Homo-oligomer: A and B are copies of this chain.
Amino acid sequence: MPRTHEQFELIRSERMDAILTSAMFLFATKGYDSTTLDEIAKDAGCSHGLLYHYFKDKYTLYDYLVNNVAFPMIVKLIESVNFAQKAKFVLYDCLNAILNALKSEDDQYSWATNLLISIDLSIVEGTKSIRVSKYANKKVFSWISSCIERGKLEGDFSTDKSTREVTGAILCFIKGLAYARVRLGSKKFICPKINIVMDMVL
């Protein structure tokens, strides 16, 4: 399993690793409110008390996962793409990286994608739950929009459709995929070929 060990620079022990893995899985699968610390602790094989040694509270654990695990993990996926090439290749490479990550046996990528997407979606300010605004700058997918725009200028992408529209469509598509991957697991999940997405823009 190609874990991005570098992201876990702050991990102090295997216990911490286990906690983060369990927490990310559960938060991504069930959502914040539906996940209890006891569940995480049980899944991680430790007592719930220990969670409080590593993290101030439930929310801090969640926050840590978003900022220090999920976000870097997705950023890293795209990092290696050569953004200097033509937009259509950038888009292709980025999507390819994401689809490959979702296709891989390592569930972590789908959890991470899902976690970041949940932030966008799950929450209206309310009694329970988390304020989204905090994560407004965690736009993992902000490159899509600029990429589409450039692709049009370069004459590769259709100008029939507005940039916002196409960007939205691609995002929706990725969101849907990430959920399906989390829900179905790597075995049952059938990842669409990249040209299904590329066809939207070309």
Which residues of A does B touch, CB under 8 Å? 29-34, 36, 39, 120-124, 126-129, 161-162, 164-166, 168-169, 171-177, 179-180, 182-183, 190-193, 196, 199-200
Contacts and interface: CB of A to CB of B under 8 A. Distances in A.
Nearest to A200: B196
A26 to B, nearest CB: 8
Contacts of A32: 34
A20 to B, nearest CB: 18
- The complex is assembled from copies of this chain, and their number is 4
B196 A122 contact: no
A21 to B, nearest CB: 16
Given A126-B30, A126-B39, A127-B36, A165 B192 contact: yes
A50 to B, nearest CB: 10
Contacts of A174: 176
Contacts of A182: 121
**Chain A at the B interface: mostly helix, strand, loop or mixed?**
helix
B34 A128 contact: yes
8 contacts: A36-B128, A161-B192, A165-B190, A166-B196, A168-B190, A172-B176, A175-B179, A199-B199
The interface centre, meaning the residue of A34, A120, A128, A183 with most chain B CB atoms within 10 A of its CB, is A34
A123 B30 contact: yes
Contacts of A168: 180, 190, 192
A114 B162 CA distance: 25
Contacts of A33: 31, 33-34, 128
